[in-house]
Amino acid sequence: MDMSQYLGAFLDEAGDNLQRLDDLVLALEKDTMNLDVINEIFRAAHTLKGMSATMGFEKMTGLTHALEDRLDAARKGTHHLDEFDMDLMFKSLDTMKSMVDSIRAGDTDAHMDVSELVAALRNMNLEAEEAKAKSDAQDQKDGDGSKNLSSQENEWVSEAKGAGMMVYTVLTKLSETCLLKAARAYMVVSRLEEMGDVIKSEPSVEALENEDFILDFTIYLSTKSTANEIKNAVLRISDVATVEVEELKNIAPKLVEAKAAPTPVEPAPKHEEKAVVEAKAPAPAPHPKAAAPAAPTRTAESKKVNQTVRVDIGRLDKLMSLVGELVIGRARVERLAQEARLREFDEPLSQLGRISGDIQELVTKLRMVPVSFTFDRFPRLIRDMSKSLGKDIELVLEGQDTELDRTVIDEIGDPMVHLIRNSLDHGIETREDRRKAGKPEKGILKISAYQEGSGVIIEVMDDGKGINPEKVKTKAIDRGILTEEEATTISDEEAIQLCLLPGFSMAEKITDISGRGVGMDAVKTKVETLGGQLDMVSKVGQGTNIYIRLPLTLAIVLSLLIKVGDETYAISLENVEETILVRRENIKTVHGLPATILRGEVLSLSDLGDVLGTVVERDHRDEYPVVVVKIGKNKIGFIVDELIGQQEIVIKSLGRFLSKIKGIAGATILGDGNVALILDVVSFYSMKG
């Protein structure tokens, strides 16, 4: 059978399961005795094992099987998990991630050597576990299987034997490649119901329905059929590997005595009298059919899950592109109707505007994903780095449900890793240094996301030693970035911003983690490429806060249309603080540059025509339109010829050859069909500086 058609689904599911396993093992590391977490890891690992076996990836199947064996011993109490086990599990997960990446690249897992890892996972003392398993099996053969039965269930066993029926324990083990365990368990129980009465199921019926078991389960059955007939009937069911049928010969004497001399029941209140009488009544003949797993019902939760589908991101990109064309077409029709003064078009155009706006909003939401898509990989990263650095660090995540465009999420991951590595390496101090500074030995790294206006803020905060502005100035002088005179004139805040310059690093030595001076510059460049802004605040001895402001989406944005000379340009409103009119007499010269006073503060001015290299004549004007742009903590006013107004625009790429032009973020098609360039005013500010 050709399984290649399922490869995409396998890769998606494998990625989800590996991320879930990563999170679960992190939780298990904090409490190695938590059986609930161990069972959750079992379920995720077994699912991954079944999927990889079905697809024919034998190395991944063997590795997940070995991981199950390691945890099975912990679950049964024959092996206590320690730090070595945790490192081994994380190494296994990393290897499986490499396998998935290799498969995604068109290769297989065949070239991966996992023999040493599998041997390490299975290299433990299993004698106690094997002895326990043999003891349990012998107990069933000797008739002690009834020790797991309640007094009520033992009564049913006695009555069944009194009616001339045999009682068996039917131990069924499913194949390791079984993908529908709950369905197979249901078929086994249904087949046994046809042959007699089911007294009990281990694990419980609910556990079988929820697939809360590994591969085997036991059914207690009263029947007139023979053991061979039962075994053959169950073996005919698909995905059943083995069946062991043993007769339940004895009943635990203690439980029989409990039946003969029931414990007195204290008088109950009147409203409970009926329940007490029913409990004292003789037990009826067993009706275990009621205990058999019912056919799966469609609960509200399962319906919600079933209504979720995976959509290729390329299709969403195409849909967004078509919606962009719809926005452009609507703008053109509206403009033509206004020019022709066709009043009868007002109502249908208004309706079209509402519908297209709803479609645009819906498609935008379809592309939105929570930042947890990126945040979820940080706990593991910080765990590994803190161990490598010998630091004790607590990670605090907030606002994981905040949503961003999928494109932004994909691009922001690596810059976030740079920030985290910097904070951990030379932001948060060692235990000894923190103790000397009167701080708790455990450092705190807090990553939070929240929506502000039409954008999202991602904040990375640590309570480390902070950035010393005097040391930054000294380093800048040594590297020739500042003169000694300039260093005395800049503020501490401006000095800290020097850390964002290319090649600048405060690390005293280069390590595998940081110190080469490319991290912060790379972060700033990437954020600005995404149409965002980066700001950094630090206090010596208290820590550092880094703020990244990002647009919700990169496809359709609200912009300000302006004119410079005869050309129309667009500026994203994310970067626009306000627009003002400045009279000629209010423009002064400060340090050789034009400036004006805005609400008591000096606002530097720059002629956008000069920046763009456009010849403009403004000598006859008494006042100038100015677009005030905020870049970090700084503001600058760009003088333009005309403020046209706000408009939604669809960002179009300029292609590979023109994409590197500094100051141009792309282009858009206006309602009149003309093309307008989208200005990157942040880069204009850096060019000006």
| Positions marked active-site | 46, 68, 422
| CA pair distance 380, 384, nearest whole angstrom | 6
Cβ atoms within 10 Å, residue 7 = 13
Reported in sequence order, the residue ranges of 406-542 that DSSP labels E, i.e. its strands, are: 443-452, 455-462, 533-539
- CA angle at residue 631 from 627 to 636, to 5 degrees? 40
Residue with the two structure tokens 């494109």? 407
- Give yes or no for a cis peptide into 269 (omega within 30° of 0): no
Q: How far apart are CA 622 and CA 634, in angstroms?
A: 27
Under 8 Å between Cβ of 328 and 669: yes
Tokens matching residue 520: 């912060």
What is the rounded CA–CA span in Å between residue 140 and residue 143?
Answer: 5
Q: Quick one: how far is CA 425 from the chain centroid? A: 24
Assess contact for 212 and 308: CB atoms under 8 A: no
- Which of 541, 533, 531, 501 lies closest to 517 in space, CA to CA? 501
CA distance 104 to 99: 9
Q: Which two tokens stand for residue 500?
A: 């964002």
Angle at 234 between CA 228 and CA 235, to 5 degrees: 85
Three-class secondary structure of residue 686 per DSSP: helix
Question: Tokens at residue 665, please?
Answer: 């973020």
- Helix, strand, coil share (%) of the chain residues, nearest 5: 50, 20, 30
Amino acid at 326: L
Q: How far apart are CA 72 and CA 214, in angstroms?
A: 10
Q: Provide CB contacts within 8 A for 521, sequence distance 6+.
A: 500, 501, 502, 503, 504
Could you tell me the CA-to-CA distances from 182 to 173, 209, 326 in Å, in that order? Answer: 13, 5, 48
**Nearest Cα to Cα of residue 208 among 246, 174, 248:** 174
Tokens representing residue 305 in the block: 């899950």
Cα–Cα distance, 20 to 30 (Å, whole number): 16
Joined together, the tokens standing for residue 480 give: 């020739």
Cα–Cα distance for residue pair 219/187, rounded to 1 Å = 12
**Which 8-state DSSP code applies to residue 489?**
H
The Cα–Cα gap between 574 and 689 comes to: 21
Question: CA 97, CA 33: separation in Å to the nearest integer?
Answer: 26
Q: What tokens were used for 653?
A: 């790429």
